[in-house]
Structure 1
């Protein structure tokens, strides 16, 4: 077996991130549709996540790396299958589902931010990588992380205390 060259590894890396982004877009859209979203923050977040996937697809293609759509389709199907989980309720949606979905989204966006930072390290050697665009994408990911953390804390409060915010003071004496 021959060792893979850098370009092959970059192709695998970007296609794996594209696959994760396909699942992330589906999850973000579903979360936006199922959660209470009075200010439209989740809808805006879902739109941004879809745009970020589009940016990653454009970057991948600009580097001349073939897109492996079967990976994205597999992750899309896994996201659909992931909806079938036990949440402690049979007929209604559990507040625990909201919390777990927001935590999954946060982890996914952290991974996306790491991808942008990785690509930034290659920008000096890859003329098709636009460092300014990658910095904008990484900044947008950081803003998404902050929003998801705010929403996650609210969901934790609803799930475990029946309130809108988690109490960081610890257990009462």
Structure 2
């Protein structure tokens, strides 16, 4: 067939070598992202105003802490070095993001929870894609495919749970009878 690499037609050839520096950066970025989302979830789970949403958000934070630990253990197993600096920067960035105006002189806006849940939902999608990427390279990295599939499925479930909470938050935020006001008032 006129290919430069006659072995490319064989499915059992070795995978190309993975760039360990790029892999370390990739895993490090996912760990930092998880750290920021966990920080936001932990804070939200202590906000009295969100009532019965506090418990599921606290549970989700615990799940993400477990997954972050798995990422870090995977990095150790692959002999990748992860910088603590990115995780600290992620938490600081998450804290700075809280300083944005919310349209209220005092207290939380009903929209704050909606926006925060949207941010969390985006983070969960990014996390899922991180597990997908590792699964795509599982053979080359000698990673457990079943474990990665578990985390991919779990990420979808987590995103669905957050979307359910976000739908409730949107309903509350835009309901005039619950005390929201428009920016025109």
Runs of 4+ in 1 over 3 A off after TM superposition: none
Q: Secondary structure at the match of 1:36?
A: helix
Choose the corresponding residue for 2:162, options 118, 123, 148: 148
CA distance in 2, matches of 1:163, 1:109: 32
TM-score normalised per structure 2 = 0.81
Aligned residue for 2:9?
none
CA distance in 1, matches of 2:175, 2:71: 39
Structure 1 stretches lacking a partner, 5+ long: 165-173
Aligned residue for 1:136?
150
Give the 5 Å matches for 1:45-64. 45-64=60-79
Count of matched residue pairs: 159
CA distance in 1, matches of 2:25, 2:76: 13
Q: Secondary structure at the match of 1:149?
A: helix
Q: Relative contact order: is structure 1 or structure 2 higher (C-alpha 8 Å, sep ≥ 6)?
A: 2
CA distance in 2, matches of 1:136, 1:15: 21
Give the drift of 1:163. Answer: 7.3
Q: How large is the Cα RMSD of the aligned pairs?
A: 1.7
- C-alpha change, 1:8 and 1:142, in structure 2 (3 Å) is same
Choose the corresponding residue for 2:58, options 43, 54, 64: 43
